[in-house]
Amino acid sequence: MNFKVTLEQDEDGMYIATCSCFPGCISQGETEEEALNNIKEAIELHFKCLSEDGLPCQKDSKKKECIVSVDL
């Protein structure tokens, strides 16, 4: 299953990874690769916790993100 992840570098040089499908599912790393590995683990743990609690697993939403061009 694929999820869109946003990766940003903060003012301290750390990489912050978030997944908009799961608010609060945030991770970080010293490198992009480490941050992406950590967010993958966080998403997997999120699903494991839902399963253990007997809650339904929410699949990727039907939201669509687009880029638009605006003339200024």
Residue 64 lies inside a defined structural domain of this protein? no
Residue 60 lies inside a defined structural domain of this protein? no
Domain of 26, in residue numbers: 5-52
d(CA 17, CA 6): 6
Counting the structural domains of the chain, the total is 1
By the 8 A CB rule, do 7 and 30 touch? no
Instruction: Tell me the whole-structure pTM to 2 decimals.
Output: 0.70
Give the chain's residues under pLDDT 70: 55-70
In the chain, DSSP assigns E strands to: 5-9, 15-19, 26-29
Radius of gyration in angstroms for the set of CA atoms belonging to the chain, rounded to a whole number: 15
d(CA 65, CA 10): 23
Q: What is the pLDDT of residue 48?
A: 86
Q: What is the pLDDT of residue 63?
A: 60
Q: What is the pLDDT of residue 50?
A: 77
